[in-house]
Structure 1
Amino acid sequence: MKKVFKHIFAATVLAATLATGCSKSDLVDLKPEFSLEALENPSSIDQVEEVLTAAYSRFRSGSYYGDGNGSGFSLMPDMMSDNLLETNESLANYKSLTDWIYAEDDALVRGIWAAPYAVITNANIVLRDIDKFTTTDNQRRANRIKGQALAIRAHAHFDLFRFFATSYDRNSTTILAVPYMTEFLVSPSVKPARLNNKDFYDRVIADLTAAVGLLGNVDATINPSTIKRPNIDLAGAKAIQARVYLYAGMYTEAITAASDVITARPLAPAASFAGMYNEQNAGEIIWNAQFDAGQGGPGGGVYFSQNNRSAYAPAAEIATMDGTTGLIRNDDVRYTAYFATIAVANGPRLVMRKYRGKAGLTDGNANFPVFRTGEMYLIRAEARARTSPAQETAAMNDLNVLRAARITNYTNENLTGAALLTAIANERRRELFGEGHRFFDLKRTTRTIVRAGGCGNPSISPAVCTLASNAREWALPIPFDERSVNDNIQQNPGY
């Protein structure tokens, strides 16, 4: 009888990948279900592809892009920064993260550590088995499967790195990143150590280089839908490269990768921009984490649309109810796509609406745009601006093109030097609001968080309004559960 493997341990990766213990609450339900044979002893390439499909489903975890345990890599970076401020409608579920008072035994931190490694587990199973079933006749299908698994593995590791590394210095051989898992092993003796930054980047870049090579020669269109892009295709792998290269300070490579993606996925016209968030138009989505009916979405911890409860609200620096002040104003297509004014008991309030539902629904079921073309323009602009003064004109052109696509009657600007870099940083804050970037952008540019526009007011909950650029809290602590069974892993300083 065929057994159905419905649950896989997800606590710091199946007790297997990182050798930690699990509890019943650490089980993740995978949809679609895949067979036990596919996990342990697959008999066909079809079963290997089932495990790849399950890897994508794990991005829906409440600790990854979903809602329910912190939305670790979707909304939490905005909640932990100066973009979204806690309101008096909050249930205080996420205060340990958003007030920067986390410790190594924090359940939210443990979830952020475990969720990407759970994705990596599935990717490594695919990579363990795919070559067994690769033949001359199915080589291009194998490329499609293997390329996605390599890109997924690199992306999930890099997400972990963004939270747990103390610095993003690409060349450091002393700063610690995170373990880079390349095998699926079930053994209590598996106790991986943290790599240094240089070795970590080398592995991420190698996986992405291999993924790009494979995904350029596949047997079928990876995302055939006209409105959904739930899988990583060639453009998706290059988008991951562009982001990694920007963090690494490899600006020439970032420019090349971002340019390739921009060619493949042009900017969306203003009329279709909002459709990216309610699944009415693919717009400029490169890869989205897909949440189908009944699978939730990323936004409930900020704005619970089912009962109009706004636990976190946009800072006044971002937008205001009248739309005439703040970084995003009512002459900008992003204003109505991102925000709405709702009536609540305490009076009208501006809320983040971009994930409240598909089509005209307000059930909180929405996809998360992991990569969009707007980010590629901003990556290329910043990389050009940081390369040399000779590239500043091209960088400013990127910024002007993006703004002209978003803002009605926009007039081009001409900035250079520090003013140009500041403008690019502000545009990242506008364009990528609520999409998991702000905390990391401040961290990689070693800036201080200053929560203005409401922090400390009676209707706003956060008691701590600043985080210094040298504070330990820029890097999350390695969870206690991991360190208790893995004596090879080193804690971050100060914890």
Structure 2
Amino acid sequence: MKRRHFINRKAWVLPLIGLMLFAGSCKKYTELVPDNTFAEDDAYSNPQRAALAITGVYSAAQSSPYTDNTNRGYPFGAANTIQGDMRGEDMMAIPSFFLITYENSYDATTANNTAMWTSLYATINRANIVITKLKEAAAAGTISTDVETAGEAECRFLRALSYHELLIHFARPYNETAGATHQGVVLRTVGINTPELVDQYKNDGRGTVKQGYDLIIADLDFAEANLAAQSTASLRITRATKGAAIALKTRVKLHMGDYAGVITEGAKLGTAATSATFTAPTALGGYALTATPDGPFASVGANYGNTESIFSIENSTIRNAGTNGSLSTMYSKAPGRALVVISPIIWNDPSWKATDARRTLLSTTDAATGVAAKYYFSAKYKDPATWTDANPIIRYAEVLLNVSEAYARTGNATQSLALLNAVRNRSVLAADRYTADSFPTPASLIQGIINERRIEFLGEGKRWMDIHRLAKENLYGPNGIPAKTSSTVAFSAYNAAAGYTGARSIAAIPYAGATTSFRFIWPIPTVETQANPVLAQQQNPGY
């Protein structure tokens, strides 16, 4: 029986076609195509329809189905940020939504890690399908080669982003073995949308971590070469561009320990300048830090035009992570649900000066008239009513700090300090600005950069990335998942910049050498290992 799969033009969403498509019985569709839908084979019949197909990949990245088939912002609508924070110590979980992640009690059946795996592969599969269909349409003369190549570049950018997210959660860091030859994740560049393809690829095994990173870099190189230099209006930060591909390469190469590569990529975005301020070339987006640290988090809608955001995932009033998943719901005080709060561990850290503007501009308490405060909250996400805050994937501030660390690790302390101060100085008093004397050794400078990353990206899900990449080195991080505070901590434990000496009742997970060390990375989900006997034999040890 011929299967016809339809795309809803009003929603701009392409249905995921993967393994589950063929699990049920075949349903016969009418040959009359409704006005607002069209068959997948017709989705590439002209450039306008092809554009909708590409938009469908962004839709999959914003939200593929959660384990209960609802929209909770997996993988990149919100969940990558929330899970990245919950795996670290600087944001704290309030019972009970995210305690499994926060307390490291996950297994191969728990929902959050399972949903991250399945939604990331759903995004990858959608990207792969669209790439194939675009090539077929170009070969048939339905769309131009330029349209095909540009569309493929957007798909490969999102595929690279997805594979990197998989690698930081389900595989050990790049430097775990010489040559990164240890187990990575399953690598697919073919879209699976027929029973025959399901049968062909159903027993794929894991590639190495190096193979994963090689694919990511190849995808981002292709994206840089073929993406538009910049988009306009609200699409400026929500569609992939050349600058976004370059920016993401600074992150990926930092994880690889390719510090010269980080410097080279950053230079394309203006980080080799000798001035105290840095700006990307206009032809690559003209990115620059906003004057104040809250600039990228202005009122909903207004932030789409800020100069600092390079790539974000859009949430709208009709498509968002909802009350059970959105950033503003989880991170905000009432009327938000207030389930992710700032931990006193970072609030009290001496490297975060008590007078730092980020304390007042980007955080708040839940105090009200006649009601005592209990916690500090991030104020980065402003819309707990309709959940339309964009999810910040990468900002120019990250590019500057990525390159700053690379310079510090390769002996150029002067340029490293200039980049670090560019980010930090907009938030601190003149008396608190770093000088060359602030860091007597290269190691102290690198530690200063890591400290700044914890403050600058608080509430943006970046903490796990640094814990993961630094754990094996065991010089600048907690050498595993750090011990954490419980939500029972009293508000009196918050003392800005005074150091935290209170209880950390959630035990640390050492990177290696302990009976719990296997929990440093997530298990491959049971739904995957039950369907794939090869992966069942390649499960992460300990699960």
Question: Shorter-chain TM-score: what band?
Answer: 0.7 to 0.9
User: Do the aligned partners of residues 37 and 308 (structure 1) sit closer, same or farther apart at CA in structure 2, a change above 3 Å counting?
Assistant: closer
Partners of 2:320 and 2:105 lie apart in 1 by 28
Partners of 2:46 and 2:267 lie apart in 1 by 38
For 1:5, the equivalent position in structure 2 comes to 7
For 2:61, the equivalent position in structure 1 comes to 59
Partners of 1:425 and 1:86 lie apart in 2 by 23
Cα offsets for 1:418-476 (capped at 9, x unmatched)? 11111011011011111121122112111244345666637899852422122111210
CA drift at 1:210: 1.3
- What secondary structure sits across from 1:378 in the alignment? helix
For 2:405, the equivalent position in structure 1 comes to 382
Give the TM-score normalised by structure 2: 0.77
Structure 2 residue 257 is the aligned partner of structure 1 residue 211? no
Amino acid at match of 1:405: R
User: Do the aligned partners of residues 343 and 21 (structure 1) sit closer, same or farther apart at CA in structure 2, a change above 3 Å counting?
Assistant: farther
| Aligned pairs (5 A) from 1:365-376 | 365-376=388-399
Partners of 1:341 and 1:326 lie apart in 2 by 20
CA drift at 1:283: 3.1
Give the TM-score normalised by structure 1: 0.84
Q: Check whether the contact 1:356–1:363 (CA below 8 A) recurs between aligned residues.
A: no
User: Do the aligned partners of residues 137 and 8 (structure 1) sit closer, same or farther apart at CA in structure 2, a change above 3 Å counting?
Assistant: closer
Choose which of 442, 449, 457 in structure 1 pairs with 2:489: 457
Q: Check whether the contact 1:246–1:383 (CA below 8 A) recurs between aligned residues.
A: yes
CA drift at 1:370: 0.4
Choose which of 278, 283, 301 in structure 1 pairs with 2:307: 283
Q: How many residues align?
A: 464
Structure 1: tracts of 5 or more residues without a match: 24-32
Amino acid at match of 1:257: E
Larger strand fraction of residues:
1
Structure 2 residue 195 is the aligned partner of structure 1 residue 195? no
For 2:131, the equivalent position in structure 1 comes to 127
Q: Check whether the contact 2:167–2:184 (CA below 8 A) recurs between aligned residues.
A: yes
CA drift at 1:63: 7.8
User: Do the aligned partners of residues 314 and 67 (structure 1) sit closer, same or farther apart at CA in structure 2, a change above 3 Å counting?
Assistant: farther
For 2:160, the equivalent position in structure 1 comes to 154
Choose which of 333, 355, 371 in structure 1 pairs with 2:381: 355
- What secondary structure sits across from 1:101 in the alignment? coil
Identity %: 22
Partners of 2:299 and 2:481 lie apart in 1 by 28
User: Do the aligned partners of residues 168 and 455 (structure 1) sit closer, same or farther apart at CA in structure 2, a change above 3 Å counting?
Assistant: farther
CA drift at 1:382: 1.0
User: Do the aligned partners of residues 370 and 394 (structure 1) sit closer, same or farther apart at CA in structure 2, a change above 3 Å counting?
Assistant: same
Structure 2 residue 455 is the aligned partner of structure 1 residue 434? no
Q: Check whether the contact 1:303–1:352 (CA below 8 A) recurs between aligned residues.
A: yes
Partners of 2:511 and 2:63 lie apart in 1 by 30
User: Do the aligned partners of residues 462 and 479 (structure 1) sit closer, same or farther apart at CA in structure 2, a change above 3 Å counting?
Assistant: farther
Partners of 1:39 and 1:328 lie apart in 2 by 55
Q: Check whether the contact 1:5–1:35 (CA below 8 A) recurs between aligned residues.
A: yes
- What secondary structure sits across from 1:347 in the alignment? coil
CA drift at 1:146: 1.7
- What secondary structure sits across from 2:179 in the alignment? coil
Partners of 1:373 and 1:225 lie apart in 2 by 18
Q: Check whether the contact 1:171–1:198 (CA below 8 A) recurs between aligned residues.
A: no
- What secondary structure sits across from 1:371 in the alignment? strand
User: Do the aligned partners of residues 111 and 442 (structure 1) sit closer, same or farther apart at CA in structure 2, a change above 3 Å counting?
Assistant: same
Partners of 2:233 and 2:73 lie apart in 1 by 28
Structure 2: tracts of 5 or more residues without a match: 26-34, 271-279, 281-285, 472-478, 494-502
Q: Check whether the contact 1:277–1:354 (CA below 8 A) recurs between aligned residues.
A: no
For 1:97, the equivalent position in structure 2 comes to 101
For 2:511, the equivalent position in structure 1 comes to 469
| Aligned pairs (5 A) from 1:106-145 | 106-134=110-138, 138-145=144-151
Q: CA RMSD in A?
A: 3.3
Q: Check whether the contact 2:173–2:255 (CA below 8 A) recurs between aligned residues.
A: no
Q: Check whether the contact 2:480–2:508 (CA below 8 A) recurs between aligned residues.
A: yes
Choose which of 26, 34, 39 in structure 2 pairs with 1:37: 39
Partners of 1:223 and 1:310 lie apart in 2 by 34
User: Do the aligned partners of residues 484 and 21 (structure 1) sit closer, same or farther apart at CA in structure 2, a change above 3 Å counting?
Assistant: farther
Q: Check whether the contact 2:89–2:485 (CA below 8 A) recurs between aligned residues.
A: no
Structure 2 residue 288 is the aligned partner of structure 1 residue 266? yes
For 1:28, the equivalent position in structure 2 comes to none
User: Do the aligned partners of residues 326 and 52 (structure 1) sit closer, same or farther apart at CA in structure 2, a change above 3 Å counting?
Assistant: farther
Partners of 2:329 and 2:487 lie apart in 1 by 19
CA drift at 1:364: 3.6
For 2:244, the equivalent position in structure 1 comes to 236
Structure 2 residue 540 is the aligned partner of structure 1 residue 492? yes
Cα offsets for 1:66-94 (capped at 9, x unmatched)? 8467943112111221011123xx3x122
Structure 2 residue 318 is the aligned partner of structure 1 residue 318? no
Amino acid at match of 2:191: F
Structure 2 residue 362 is the aligned partner of structure 1 residue 338? yes
Cα offsets for 1:84-112 (capped at 9, x unmatched)? 1123xx3x122211110111111222101
Larger radius of gyration: 2
For 1:444, the equivalent position in structure 2 comes to 469
